Structure 1
Amino acid sequence: MADIVLVTVQGGGHFNTGMLFAKKLASQGCRVTVLLPWLNPSGMTTDIANIEMRALMESTPSPRPAFIFPGVRKSRPDLVPSSRFPTALPDSLRKHLDVLRPKAVVLDRMVMFWASQTVEERGIPKYILYTGASAHLAVMLSFHGPSRSGNVDQDMQSVVHVPGLPPLRWAELPLDVVVKSHGIYLGKEGVAKHFVHSNGILLNTSEELEGPILDALHCEYPEIRCISIGPLYPSSYLQDDRPSEEDIRGTAVSIGKNSEDSTALVSWLDKQPTASLVFICFGSFIVLGDEMIRELAHGLESSGFRFLWSLPSPRNEEPAAYLNRVLPPNFVERTSGRGKILTGWVPQQLVLSHPAIGALVSHCGWSSVVECIMLAGVPILAWPFLGDQLPTCRHLVDEYKIAVDIGVDGVPSADDVERGLRAVMEDQELRNRAKQRRKLVRQAALSTQPGSSGHNLADFISSLAG
């Protein structure tokens, strides 16, 4: 039984993907120790066999100020940059590795900057888990990869050509790649060396999700070993038309969130016609500004479509008061016969696996995109904000043609929203392509053929036991 250490962070997509990866390893007999910089005040626990969670620091530090983006009220304020602890985290990691003596260490890309040297000093095989889209990796390497100049001082109106991606406008590039004043600007970190000196980059993707991008990465950067192992979900998600609530709970980790009653939610979904609902969800990080919410509400109401809207209320405001403040007057009453608004944490996988879902309005966070394609097979109305969301949007819209974009150039109007909703709900060719993409992704994840993500994951796990 191989002992593996996974070092990750609390951020939603990073943590959730890391735990899915840990569960894949554990299901194959590996013992996995998940190391987090610190545990949330509410605690993070798991009862999954062969997985143990530990904190590198005993106390939770004060949160950093929230990120602010144009038109966005705030993002989650409870994330703390590891750069504030330049010695404490590596020292703690060193002590854990000396005790655990793992067969390999897998580092989330967000921790590799401070953790890589410690792992390399111990001579332990090191892998990087890239939880975001490979589109982000492609953009980053095109600027800061091996033999790249790192020059980001380009004309803001220019078109950027990244191998494997459709042409990108400057506004569609991730800020951490091109903005030198960004808090985690990658150009100053010598980012390429972390990839070149690793045993491989583990990508939560597949040829069927990002084929042209993966091909370009292999061609452009032969010195970096890119291993596609996604999507990292249990086989029950891929074999059945609809995973059970027990399957979905089996992937979950308790993080103390105020969650919606899944039984009541499923009961409500069961009463909706097939493929009739627009599901609106922007993940756990982005919180829409008030103007955005009102334009979205007006467009949604004008469209006439049924909807399920995840609209989390702030921690310091009662849900009813929040909805009354940010939504158009009497919106809830006027749409109560065809819509439902949820102010608590929503089990997204449970919702997307339900046949009532007809489209997803999303920020294009990679976990949300993968779950939408894999579970629902429905089009996406893309409203990206930052990071890998922007190039992912272009990939889905221009390359695979399973999404329609709004909001890239600021706050979309209610008319923009309505037009986008009609496109994703009524364009049959768009809907057919999304359904076909779902079939291809599922087949690849279950495949044992060389080159498939299923084979790559099995090969990685077997190599740890050697």
Structure 2
Amino acid sequence: MFTTFGLHERAKAELSRNFEHGEEASAQRVRLVALGEVELLRSDAVDQAFTAAWKQLLAEEPIACALSGEHFPAILRPRAIILDISYGKLSGDVRALSGGDVKITTFFPVQLCALWRMFGPEHLGGRGNLEEATRTGRAFEEVRVELWCRLSNEVNHVPGLPPIYDHELFPQESFKPSALEAELFTHWYECIVVLTTESYEREAVAALRKWYSAMNKSAYIVGLPLAHGSHASSGEKIQSKEADQIETFLDNALKTSGEKSLLYISFGSLYWPMNDDSEKLWAFLDVVMERNLHFIMTHASPFAHVPDAVKEKVQTYGKGILSPWAPQQLILGHPVTDWFVAHGGQNSVQELIAAGVPQCIMWPFGVDQPCNAIHLTDNLDVAYELMEVRSGLGLKPVYRNGKAPVGTIDALKEEARDTLSKAFGEDGAQKRAKLLELRQAILAEHEDGGHAKRDLEALANSF
């Protein structure tokens, strides 16, 4: 398993959560290798380090982890590789180096509805047929970037979502269509693994299976296999230096304010409101404190900066924690947690559904997040979306309500007050009941005979 310097220790800790005592031999079969002295998820340095390591594997040579220095003995030439969608560009390199005897699988850990814009044919709301476009004689890279970055202001119709304008997929000024994202736009793979379930997006799953069957490719809908067992909680807590403090804070909040009284705010390890948009986050916190709510907010993104004035205000308030990294499943599973302000990425959404209690207040940035926001609020009616946090293209009209956000701090505060009032009231309770029904259906898919478990077993058997 290849990773980067910056993610190596977190990946190691996460892996440890999935093995019990007595399974050490199985754990040792997972060889975790940091690629060169690179920190970023995507960069030319990562690509070059991967290519060098892949050549070693193809030549059946020993390989070493650049971070730990651990050397791993040679293994047989790989017959298959699973590439995260972020590294779609590398699938072409793998094919060129390996020939046709290595099965390439792409790992798609984002909401399925977002796949159509990335890869889908035009009749499913996609950007068009890349192979047909290249027959004009134009450069492959040029055509790929044009198809990806083109915004037509037309109404998009994709399986599983109500009609939307294409600019609605970019609700924040700091996240626009880019040439880098266009590198994901490729078809050099034999099958796809998707972290979703039929219960969560049934129409989209059905469309994917039909499309892939027509292409003679395999699609595996494996749900979200979360860590469980005796090490699941402890393995997560060791990734946060403040885990014990956070757990104590949760317990104390439960004693003083009762169940379902805490707000959790996290935008994951990458996303963060940028530039002037960060002022909207501090304004939102002001409303949270105005309502006298307990809250925990993480700031794990490398782009995050919390001003000293905000830190001092939260410390004086006494009912909030600002943490660079928090044990998310612990927080989501605690009885005091009620609502989760999140960007709406697939992992966070599936984790909160699995927890069953906290619902989501959406603050999307890009990729699959706007799609999840629409799906959770409009299709499933189990969440809210903050519209006044938008900027840039996000200030254009929204198709489903015909309105354009105002985008000011005052408008955001008014919306935050209204949303939090509903969330912690009867309207929120009704959404919670619907979420619990959805949770039961999704969990059943991971049991024996369930769709997700069957697909996961089929994926393993395909190798």
Letter paired with 2:261 = S
**In the alignment, which residue of structure 1 is the partner of 2:232?**
247
Distance 1:49 1:26, change over 3 A: farther
**In the alignment, which residue of structure 2 is the partner of 1:203?**
194
Alignment of 1:94-105 (within 5 A): 94-99=55-60, 100-101=75-76, 102-105=78-81
Alignment of 1:212-251 (within 5 A): 212-222=203-213, 223=215, 224-234=217-227, 236=229, 246-250=231-235
**In the alignment, which residue of structure 1 is the partner of 2:384?**
404
Letter paired with 1:79 = L
**In the alignment, which residue of structure 2 is the partner of 1:279?**
264
Alignment of 1:302-321 (within 5 A): 302-311=290-299
**In the alignment, which residue of structure 2 is the partner of 1:70?**
none
Distance of 1:173 and 1:313 partners within structure 2: 21
1:191 aligns with 2:179: no
Return the match for 1:363 from 343, 356, 372: 343
- RMSD of aligned C-alpha atoms? 3.9
Distance 1:88 1:346, change over 3 A: closer
Cα shift readout 1:369-391 (whole Å, capped 9, x = no counterpart): 11111113432110101211111
Alignment of 1:18-417 (within 5 A): 48-57=27-36, 59-60=37-38, 79=40, 81-84=42-45, 87-99=48-60, 100-101=75-76, 102-118=78-94, 120-121=98-99, 123-140=101-118, 141=120, 142-144=126-128, 150=147, 153-156=150-153, 158-173=154-169, 182-186=178-182, 189=183, 191-194=185-188, 197-198=189-190, 200-222=191-213, 223=215, 224-234=217-227, 236=229, 246-250=231-235, 258-261=241-244, 263-271=247-255, 272-288=257-273, 289-311=277-299, 322=306, 324-326=308-310, 330=313, 332-333=315-316, 335-336=317-318, 339-407=319-387, 409-410=390-391, 413-417=412-416
Deviation at 1:313, TM superposition (A): 9.6
Distance of 2:304 and 2:386 partners within structure 1: 30
Q: Is the 8 A contact 1:144 1:191 kept in 2?
A: no
Cα shift readout 1:122-160 (whole Å, capped 9, x = no counterpart): 71222111122212212212115577864864443x322
Distance of 2:270 and 2:184 partners within structure 1: 27
Q: Is the 8 A contact 1:378 1:434 kept in 2?
A: no
Distance of 2:5 and 2:200 partners within structure 1: 25
Distance of 2:269 and 2:148 partners within structure 1: 33
Secondary structure of residue in 2 paired with 1:143:
coil
1:448 aligns with 2:452: no
Distance 1:181 1:287, change over 3 A: closer
Secondary structure of residue in 1 paired with 2:225:
coil
Deviation at 1:22, TM superposition (A): 10
Distance of 1:355 and 1:316 partners within structure 2: 28
Q: Is the 8 A contact 1:293 1:326 kept in 2?
A: no
Distance 1:204 1:303, change over 3 A: same
Secondary structure of residue in 1 paired with 2:180:
coil
Distance of 1:180 and 1:414 partners within structure 2: 25
Letter paired with 1:92 = A
Moved more, 83-92 or 130-139: 83-92
Distance of 1:347 and 1:55 partners within structure 2: 23
Query: Please, what TM-score do these two structures have when normalized by structure 2?
Result: 0.73
Q: Is the 8 A contact 1:445 1:453 kept in 2?
A: yes
Deviation at 1:171, TM superposition (A): 2.7
Distance 1:269 1:437, change over 3 A: farther
Deviation at 1:117, TM superposition (A): 3.6
Q: Is the 8 A contact 1:362 1:383 kept in 2?
A: yes
**In the alignment, which residue of structure 2 is the partner of 1:43?**
none
Secondary structure of residue in 2 paired with 1:280:
strand
Distance of 1:25 and 1:161 partners within structure 2: 43
**In the alignment, which residue of structure 1 is the partner of 2:440?**
439
Distance 1:422 1:220, change over 3 A: farther
Letter paired with 1:51 = V
Cα shift readout 1:88-142 (whole Å, capped 9, x = no counterpart): 5313212124323345321111223124442542712221111222122122121
Distance of 1:276 and 1:90 partners within structure 2: 50
Q: Is the 8 A contact 1:362 1:368 kept in 2?
A: yes
Distance of 1:313 and 1:147 partners within structure 2: 37
Secondary structure of residue in 1 paired with 2:86:
coil
Distance of 1:117 and 1:30 partners within structure 2: 34
Q: Is the 8 A contact 2:113 2:158 kept in 1?
A: no
Deviation at 1:352, TM superposition (A): 0.3
Structure 2: runs of 5 or more not aligned: 61-74, 121-125, 134-146, 392-406
Distance 1:342 1:49, change over 3 A: farther
Distance of 1:445 and 1:409 partners within structure 2: 36
Q: Is the 8 A contact 1:9 1:110 kept in 2?
A: no
Q: Is the 8 A contact 2:149 2:179 kept in 1?
A: no
Deviation at 1:267, TM superposition (A): 3.6
Moved more, 113-122 or 377-386: 113-122
Secondary structure of residue in 2 paired with 1:364:
coil
Distance of 2:421 and 2:296 partners within structure 1: 16
Secondary structure of residue in 2 paired with 1:193:
coil
Secondary structure of residue in 1 paired with 2:223:
coil
Secondary structure of residue in 2 paired with 1:208:
coil
**For this pair of structures, how many residues does the alignment match?**
397
Query: Which of the pair has more CA radius of gyration?
Result: 2
Distance 1:106 1:290, change over 3 A: closer
